[in-house]
Homo-oligomer: A and B are copies of this chain.
Amino acid sequence: MKYAIGIDIGGTKISMVLGTSSGKILARRLIATQTGSKTQQCLSEMVENLAGLLKDSGISKKQILGIGVGLPGPVDTQKGVVPRSPHLGGWKGFPLQKWLSKKMGLPVFVANDANAAAIGEKIFGLGRRAKHFIYMTVSTGIGGGLVVNRELVEGASFVAGEVGHMTVVPKGDACKCGKLGCLEAYASGTAIAAFAAREIKAGKASRISHFATQGNKLTAREVGLAAKKGDSLALKAYERAGFYLGIGIANLLNILNPELIILGGGVLKSAPRDFWRAMLQSAKREAWPQAFQAVKIVRTKLGDLVGDLGALALVFENERL
Contacts and interface: CB of A to CB of B under 8 A. Distances in A.
Interface string A236-252: 00000001100100111
Given A257-B160, A258-B155, A288-B74, A250 B167 contact: yes
Interface stretch (A199-207, A291-299, A302-310): A291-299
Contacts of A254: 159, 162-163, 165-166
A157 interface: yes
A179 interface: yes
Most buried by B among A149, A169, A181, A244: A149
Contact of A290 (B157, B169, B247, B257): B157
B146 A255 contact: yes
Given A166-B251, A247-B167, A255-B255, A294 B149 contact: no
Contacts of A258: 155-156
Contact of A157 (B149, B153, B250, B294): B294
Secondary structure of the A contact surface, majority rule:
loop
Contacts of A251: 166-167, 251, 255
Contacts of A217: none
A255 B161 contact: yes
Given A250-B167, A255-B161, A291 B155 contact: yes
A251 B286 CA distance: 16
Given A148-B148, A148-B149, A251-B251, A294 B156 contact: yes
Interface of A: 74, 131-132, 146, 148-149, 151, 153-163, 165-170, 177, 179, 181, 243-244, 247, 250-259, 285-286, 288, 290-291, 293-295
